[in-house]
Structure 1
Amino acid sequence: MTSVLTPPAEAPRAPVRTRNGRLLALVTGLLGLGLAGAVVHLTQGTSAVDAGDVLGLVFGGSAEGTADVVVEARLPRLLAAVLVGVALSLSGAVLQSISRNIMAAPDTLAVNAGAHLAIVAVAAFGVSLPLMGAAGVAFFGGLGAATLVLLLSGGGGTGSARLVLAGTATALAMIALTTTLLLLFAQETRGLFAWGEGSLDQNGLSGVRTFAPLVAVVLAVLLVMGRRLDLVHLGDDHARALGVSVTRVRVSAVMLAVLLAAAAVVLAGPVGFVGLAAPALVRLLASTVPRLHRHIVLLPVAALAGAVLVITADVLIRALVGSQTALEVPTGVVTTIFGAIFLIALARTLRISGSPGEPPAATTRTGLGAARYRVLLIVIALVAVGVVIGGTLAGDAKLLLGDLANWVTGQAGPIVSGVMDNRLPRVVAAVLAGASLALAGAVIQNVSRNPLAEPGILGVTGGAGFGAVVVITLVPTSGFWLQAGAAGLGAVLAATLVFASAARRGFASDNLVLIGFGVWAGTTALIALLITLTDPWNESKALTWLSGSTYGRTFEHLVPMLVAILVTVPVLWYLREVLDLVSLDEETPRLLGVRVPRARLALLVCAVVLTGAAVAGVGVVSFVGLVAPHAARALVGRRSARVLPVAALLGGTLVCLADLIGRSVIAPAQLPAGLVTALVGTPYFLWLLHRSRS
């Protein structure tokens, strides 16, 4: 596959008047929607100023105080919505063009996550910067993230799934760092959680006055570069033949796109998916409005579409929950939900995947003999036992092996008994959660035939997290079993949505990844919406749970994971040969008499049950379902009979080790295990992605 963003096929020439009429109708329609939304936007607010007062202000008959309310409170929010929509849409349009990939955007290239991390890091360490200084910090954070993602994805043109996977991995690592700072520096970063979802609240017009000239200048420069962007978008060889310096144009365009995204982040926080949805929608209209493929037309129309999208989202959220409540709801949550729906619909319809391939590690160590495999399995098991013992002994209070032996025999004192009663359930919970996620990841990778898939990237973990957070926030007195049931239900619903949507393209791996990314983004936005609506000033409880923490776990919390493993492992072992066959292709298992849909459904149900139980037990833990199966295949080959037990041991060891690090490094304070696994797993994932670039 060369590109997922190719110019539309040459169509029969329509009369110039008809073509201009279509473009004029599109621009007129967008302007009409934008003006109508702006009028409604100005009538919404917490003060007593209504639509009649605003109209009176326009025609010179306003009541006293109306002008102050409109100019000082409502107009800044409206102008911020326009500016953010324009900046993000221009950024996304440019990134899509230079990567020739319709999925490129400030979100999928981790620009927003990098800029957000930079801003939070500055705030956490008590550094106060002016707006332009903050913009510079955000610019370098976003530029570093975008550069890394583009390098790992081969410039973006090698496939949408690769671009999204690289961007998602980088964003998850940066989100983990950001969440760590929010938890460790709660006072210094208070209020940045809601801002981190994209909030249009403004303190006067200073921010708009600062960044509006910057956005205008960048737009003018991009329009001047329009012809060169057209040629680069068509192909590097074609552009070079016409005298265009492709490298210079690409570097300049990336820097301008990141600058636009950084300005939007500083002004309103990371407003999600505007940079993806608005320009992609405009590009999809190019088949009926052919002149849209020219950047001198595309860029202004995309900017207008982005402004309309952000205004509409802000109007909608205030109409649904009221202006007072809407002050606590980030507008970026609504745009992210819109964008997730758009991405899922787009991934269902676009043919963006070639033939799926087996995991890169599938061909390694295929000749490992039975005796060597048993020795390796014993070594891994001993390492796991060692980590479990270390996790039991180490922490804020250090124990000795003698203390452990006394506790086992019932001869320990009250202090040792108290420590063990609190610590042992945490260690066992980490092991069970890691084993569950590793098994789920191995199954999902084989069924989807995507070596980089895992429960988190496919949206299953996000669905489970959303289900649990619904209960935590709406029913604060709920018990563990209600939370566990909600997590399981959320995982089932998310998995059903992902795989039912991907069925249209025969479960093509790229489609699965993109749809899963959309579900993950949508559930993340819904979680943020619940937190900000129900308890915006105490987000730490949900942040800790969403980061995968074993804190406060008791033996009761282990039951769902233990039951899930006891139920699913016999099924997986029985279907181990089927699991190998479905990872090859569609035809081979059918020729051997396997009922592929039924087998795939049974395997995916096992993966969903394991994921839901793990999330219910310890919260959201990232990358274990990716790292452990890959490492297992690298050690023992691709046969599921060997991969499953090794992956389970490695997964349990990884989470237990992450929990130990989180409890020990900054004791008596603690880092959630999920943050540590994200920070450890992301480099491994990026290395896998880099290794498979060819």
Structure 2
Amino acid sequence: MRQRDDAPPPAVARPAAAAARPDAPGVPLPRTPRRGSLRVGVVLALVAAWVLAAVVLHLVQGTADVGLRDLLALVTGDAVDQAAAVVVESRVPRLLAAVLVGTALGASGTAMQAVARNPLASPDTTAVNAGAYLALTLASAFGTTLAPLAGVGVAFVGGIAAAALVIGLSSGRSVSVVRLVLAGSVVTMGLASITSVVMLLLPWEVQGMFAWGAGSLSQNGSATVVRVLPVVAAGVVALLLLARRLDVLQLGDDAARSLGMRVGATRVVVVVVAVLLAASAVAVTGPIGFVGLCAPLLVRLAARRVRQLTRHRVLILASAATGVALVLTADVLLRAVFGSVAGVTVPTGVVTSALGAVFLIVLARRLRSGDTGEALAGMRAGTALGRRAPWLVLTLAGAALLAALVAAVLLGDRALLLGDVDLWLRGAASVRLEIILDSRVPRVLAALLAGACLALAGALVQAVTRNPLADPGVLGVSSAAGLGAVVTIVAVPAAGFAMLFGGALLGAAVAAVVLLGGTRGGDQVRTVLVGVGIGAFSSALTTLLLVRSDPWNQNKAMTWLAGSTYGATWVQQLPMVVVLVLAAAVLVRTSRDLDVLQLDDLTPRVLGVAVPRARLVHVALAIVLTAAATASIGVVAFVGLVAPHAARLLIGKRHALLLPLTVLLGATLVVVADLVGRATIAPAQLPAGLVTSLIGTPYFLWLLWRIRTDR
């Protein structure tokens, strides 16, 4: 997790510790007067009071009438038997789980931020939680019943493997503050796709894992927590013993080595301990999101006024206590809003994930990665054939799409012949053929149109933002559109497709406003990281709605989230057709504007292009395209990333040629993804959105590696 020493916000390595910024997180400080110790005591007392208040509120909430007087009586040994049984048997296990998880994640996040010198590092943003959850899901899918400590071991293997992948992808001489987190976030998306595939293929073996995967404090007694508690305690003690080394590490690698510290070994040990703590939390409650990000950041905010809090011996303890307070407060809020009975069924991780996503967005908007908008213009584009005969490339791409369409219509759970299709077109097919083709052909058409819409939207966003990492799925626009659709489904169960499209359009528009309104300055990686935060926030709210809805609405809504063409009808294709025709009419006249917009801000103004208006028009087109595709087949990521880049590599950067090829390639990608999902494991099926995620995740990571500013 090494990053360049001149990257903000870590302290720059200097010959002496006194040269470091005195207020930098984790920098060892000279002796401070008694006033500093008093301030630390006040802060710790406030955190302790927060924890105590949360504990009391947590214990008195429930269906049984247990109040403060009963708690005092229980503490003094005078409790009524019934009240004591209610507290001990139902509420204390949940409380203990919250304490264990909050402590583990708070301490783990502090360690990761210290070793990476990165305020955005956490078990969530480095894919540790996702890897641990995938490992536990696979164990459950294969019918393995795990004891608590065995579950910790399995989760640790998955977490450490994910962490190693992220670190390997982010390593090098030039690693910016947000690049490691961006790689971790995309790896998380890929691992989540694999987890979803397992759940869809083996639904009975992993029954109940969906809600648990959002982070649930529900416990069947205290046995699991008691057995895992020694592991968490040992991890926290190990971090406290390493606290002085973490302080020195904030001075920079060179300064730490000059003081005799083995930097590499220290990093490895701290990462292993941090992953072990996060794996312990996941094994007990599932992945409760972003506690490891929020808890240390709240303490670091206080450290701006109380500099002694930057010492890691204090910071680790304060972050662990703050993590406990956050988890308990989130659980109290859930039960206060949804009631004592319904609130228990809602995963606590939904609240912490939403809160952490907001933290991620705010922090990403303030940080700079150093990646400016020239990367898109500077990337290699165009083959020799594409430059000499671009129309031949377009013809070949059209032929490939036609072949994919024919294969998609003929193949599936039942293979057909071209003659069967001819009979169906002439209305002379048998009942069996009519049933098959009446459901299959609309699905193929939906995949074609959705792929075209998403690919075109990605190309437009990449051009106007000059960001090669831009994609409606990666930027959170598709997730927000999916949230809008799910809200419509849950709020109005009998809603028609027009209302569904309106909800998706509203969600996508809000996401675009947040994304583009808060990422001015051309920082590409920062823009994508804000989009990841938008996607996480949308996913948290979507999970909340799914868990709270009735089973019919839940199954219907999950169709949108997986990006499936199942149930597609002819009527649902109409908005995509209209939007594509409208976009074509606009882009015929503005393709030259896009050619200069992708260069810089000055050139289009010199050539007379109204930059603000051009950006508004093309971003609006991208929003409508994304909403139409999402309303039709659900959330599909990476199509808008892969298709434009493939087209650019084949035919060059002239949008008059680039956009048609992008549409053809995007349509082909989703049609093939839908075919693979329908045919490879028939009669079972995989949603097209999951297949494109499995394809797009490695491509995105390769692209992130490729556009590094300094290798």
Do structure 1's residue 73 and structure 2's residue 90 form an aligned pair? Answer: yes
Q: Which residue of 1 aligns with 2:103?
A: 86
Match of 1:638 among 636, 653, 667: 653
Q: Which residue of 1 aligns with 2:418?
A: 401
One-letter code aligned to 1:508? D
Q: Does 1:682 find its partner at 2:686?
A: no
Residue of structure 2 equivalent to 1:117:
134
Does the 8 A contact of 1:112 with 1:265 survive in 2?
Answer: yes
> Residues 569 and 233 (structure 1 numbering): CA distance in 2 closer, same or farther, change over 3 Å?
farther
Tell me the distance in 2 between the aligned counterparts of 1:450 and 1:305.
37
- The answer as to 2:481 corresponding to 1:464 is yes
Equivalent position of 2:512 in the other structure? 495
Q: TM-score, normalised by structure 1?
A: 0.95
Question: CA 1:290/1:352 → structure 2, altered by over 3 Å: closer, same or farther?
Answer: farther
Aligned twin of 2:9: 5
Output the CA distance in 1 between the equivalents of 2:326 and 2:482. 28
Judge conservation of contact 2:423–2:429 (CA < 8 Å) in 1: yes
1:372-409 CA-to-partner distances (Å, cap 9, x unmatched) read 21111111110011001100111111111222233334
CA contact (8 A) 1:358 1:583 kept: no
Corresponding residue for residue 577 of structure 1: 592
Paired amino acid for 2:591: R
| Partner residue, 2:460 | 443
Do the aligned partners of 1:368 and 1:637 also contact (CA within 8 Å) in 2?
A: no
1:266 aligns with 2:278: no
Deviates more, 1:383-392 or 1:483-492: 483-492
Deviation at 1:228, TM superposition (A): 1.8
Bigger CA drift: 592-601 or 462-471?
592-601
Question: Paired residue for 2:340?
Answer: 323
Q: Which amino acid aligns with 1:297?
A: V
1:558 match: 573
2: CA distance, partners of 1:161 / 1:267: 29
Q: 1:527 Cα shift?
A: 0.5
Match of 2:14 in 1: none
Contact 1:636 1:642 in 2 (8 A): yes
* Residue aligning to 1:277: 294
| Residue in 2 that maps onto 1:99 | 116
Show the 5 A alignment for 1:273-352.
273-352=290-369
Q: What residue is the counterpart of 1:204 in the other structure?
A: 221
The yes-or-no answer on 1:232 pairing with 2:249 is yes
2:391 aligned counterpart, secondary structure: helix
Q: Which of these residues, 224, 228, 245, is aligned with residue 262 of structure 2? A: 245
List gaps (5 residues or longer) in structure 2. 12-19, 24-28
Whole-Å separation in 2 of the counterparts to 1:14 and 1:351:
33
Deviations 1:472-529 (A, max 9, x none): 2232222222212211111112212222232xx4353233222211111111000110
2:670 aligned partner, one-letter code: V
Q: Structure 1 CA distance, aligned partners of 2:353 and 2:218?
A: 17
Q: What per-residue deviation string (whole Å, max 9, x for no partner) do you get for residues 289-348 of structure 1?
A: 222332222211111111111111111111111111111110000001111122222233
Per-residue deviation at 1:191? Answer: 1.2
- Name the CA shift for 1:628/1:132 in 2 (closer, same or farther; >3 Å): same
Q: Which shows bigger deviation, 428-437 or 530-539?
A: 530-539
For 1:392, the equivalent position in structure 2 comes to: 409
Letter in 2 for 1:570: A
* Residue equivalent to 1:593: 608
What do residues 167-187 of structure 1 show as CA deviations (whole Å, max 9, x unaligned)?
Answer: 222111111111112122222
Instruction: Give the whole-Å Cα distance in 1 for the aligned partners of 2:354 and 2:318.
Output: 22
Deviates more, 1:97-106 or 1:276-285: 276-285
Query: Quick one: distance in 2 between partners of 1:532 and 1:31?
Result: 33
Equivalent residue letter for 1:239: A
Query: 8 Å contact 1:353–1:511 — kept in the other structure?
Result: no
Q: Paired residue for 2:472?
A: 455
Q: Which amino acid aligns with 1:270?
A: P
Alignment length (residue pairs): 692
Determine if the alignment matches structure 1 residue 615 to structure 2 residue 627: no
| Contact 1:361–1:634 (8 Å) recurs in 2 | no
Q: Does 1:525 align with 2:537?
A: no
Q: Distance in 2 between matches of 1:641 and 1:433?
A: 21
Q: 2:682 aligns to what SS in structure 1?
A: coil
CA distance in 1, matches of 2:552, 2:433: 36
The 3-state SS of whatever aligns with 2:495 is coil
242-251 or 123-132, larger mean C-alpha shift: 242-251
2:341 is paired with a residue of what secondary structure?
Answer: helix
Residues 1:194 and 2:202 are matched in the alignment: no
Q: Please give the per-residue CA displacement for 1:637-679, whole angstroms capped at 9, x wherever unaligned.
A: 2222222111111111010001001111111111111111111
Listed one character per residue, the Cα deviations across residues 138-162 of structure 1 (whole Å, up to 9, x for unaligned) are: 1111111111111112279722442
Change (3 A) 1:253 1:156: farther
Opposite residue 224 of structure 2, the aligned amino acid is: G
Distance 1:56 1:443, change over 3 A: same
Residue 159 of structure 2 corresponds to residue 142 of structure 1: yes
- 1:380 maps to which residue? 397
Aligned position for 2:75: 58
CA gap of 1:449–1:291, structure 2 versus 1, over 3 A, is farther
Instruction: Please name the residue that 1:44 is paired with.
Output: 61
The equivalent of 1:648 in structure 2 is 663
The yes-or-no answer on 1:668 pairing with 2:683 is yes
* Cα separation, partners in 2 of 1:538 and 1:659, compared to 1, 3 Å: same
Tell me whether 1:568 sits opposite 2:583 in the alignment. yes
C-alpha contact 2:413 2:679 (8 A) present in aligned 1: yes
Cα-to-partner distance string for 1:198-247 (whole Å, 9 max, x where unaligned):
00111221122112211111111111112222233332222222222222
- Indicate the RMSD between aligned Cα atoms, in angstroms: 2.2
Instruction: Choose which of 101, 125, 139 in structure 2 pairs with 1:108.
Output: 125
Cα contact 1:3–1:100 (8 A) shared by 2: no
Deviates more, 1:612-621 or 1:578-587: 578-587
Aligned to 2:17: none
CA–CA distance in 1 between the matches of 2:377 and 2:164?
25
The letter of the residue matching 2:183 is: A
Moved more, 342-351 or 4-13: 4-13
Cα distance change of structure 1 residues 683 and 396 upon mapping to structure 2, 3 Å threshold: same
* Counterparts of 2:330 and 2:141, CA distance in 1: 30
Contact 2:387–2:652 (Cα < 8 Å) also in 1: no
- 1:51-87 per-residue CA deviation (whole Å, 9 max, x = no partner) reads 3322332344432311111122111211211211111
Structure 1 window deviating more from structure 2 (11-20 vs 32-41): it is 11-20
Partner amino acid, structure 1, of 2:678: R
Paired with 2:623 and 2:433, the residues of 1 have a C-alpha distance of: 38
Matched, 1:357 2:374: yes
- 8 Å contact 1:153–1:166 — kept in the other structure? yes
